[in-house]
Amino acid sequence: MRCPYCSNDETQVKDSRPSEDGSSIRRRRFCPACGNRFTTFERVQLRELTVTKSDGRRVPFDRDKLGKSIRIACRKRPIDEDRIERLLNGIQRRLEMESETEISSRRIGEMVMETLKGVDQVAYVRFASVYQNFSEAKDFQAFLGGLDTP
């Protein structure tokens, strides 16, 4: 594994442990060249997925891109990194279990919204505002009007 700090090809695994849900292995690594530590995750990939964008383009599924969007929505919310990893694992597993290898970006967005709605309503609204391309305050008002409040 290449060091993300200095690009040294020789790094050492210091600690390995399974994730809470058992779907990945978390590895703490150390780079002897620069002395930095970093974490990697090893996961099973059932099959290659292709995402069909709204403009018709087809691109490979990028778990890191999906994770970045979810992390942005969850920023400064009481959701720890392990919980975000479990959300990502669950969404990816559901996508891989579907009968089609081509999945629309709309379907992925709906899955994320459905998942975030049950976790944190602020993160849910943040994700929805980007996913549904809110451009004015009235877009937020209309969306919030449809939310079930406890």
* Contacts of range 141-148, beta carbons closer than 8 Å, 24 or more positions apart: 147/121
Element holding 96 (H helix, E strand): helix 81-97
Query: In which band, very low, low, confident or very high, does the pLDDT at 44 lie, cut at 50, 70 and 90?
Result: confident
Mean pLDDT of the chain: 89
Whether residue 11 has pLDDT greater than 90: yes
Residues listed for the chain: 150
Kindly state the tokens that stand for 34.
Answer: 């620069």
Interval 20-35 mean pLDDT? 88
**Banded pLDDT at 2 (limits 50, 70, 90):** very high
**Residue 28 confidence (pLDDT) above 70:** yes
Q: What share of the chain is helix, strand, coil (3-state, %, to 5)?
A: 45, 20, 35
Dihedral sign (CA 58, 62, 63, 66): negative
Measured CA distances, 120 to 83, 105, 111 (Å):
11, 22, 14
Exposure string (b/e) for 10-41, b if CB count within 10 Å is 16 or more?
A: ebeeeeeeebeeebbebbebebeeeeeeeeee
Q: How confident is the model at residue 97 (pLDDT cuts 50, 70, 90)?
A: confident
**DSSP code for 24:** E
